[in-house]
Amino acid sequence: MVAVMIVAAVAIFYFRMAQKPPVHPDNELIGTSKIIDGIEYFNIGDLYDCDNWIKVGPVF
């Protein structure tokens, strides 16, 4: 019974995640941050001067 509930919860989680498109901020300079849907993202860049956005967390 518990195993069925766990499998159902995992299936629902993956179904919901599949419906949401990934959120990626537009290209910006390294060191900038953006707020999208109440979540802050920070561009840490990389060695090749490309965008590398990390999720900082919710905005309060």
Read off the tokens for 25.
């901020």
Which of residues 3 and 60 earns the better pLDDT score?
3
Give residue 21's pLDDT: 63
Beta-carbon contacts of 53 under 8 Å, excluding residues fewer than 6 positions away, are 24, 25, 41, 42, 43, 44
| Residue 47, domain member (yes or no) | yes
Domain span at residue 56 reads 24-60
Residue 18 above 70 pLDDT? no
In a domain, 12, yes or no: no
Instruction: Please check whether residue 46 lies inside any domain of the structure.
Output: yes
- Quick one: pLDDT band at residue 26, thresholds 50, 70, 90? low
Number of domains in the chain: 1
Query: Residue 48's pLDDT is what?
Result: 64
In a domain, 35, yes or no: yes
Q: Domain for residue 8, yes or no?
A: no
Query: Does 39 reside within a domain?
Result: yes
From residue 33, give the alpha-carbon distance in Å to each of 7, 19, 21, 23, 52.
Answer: 37, 26, 20, 14, 11
Q: What is the pLDDT of residue 5?
A: 87
Helix (H) or strand (E) holding 53: strand 53-58
Residue 3 has pLDDT above 70, yes or no: yes
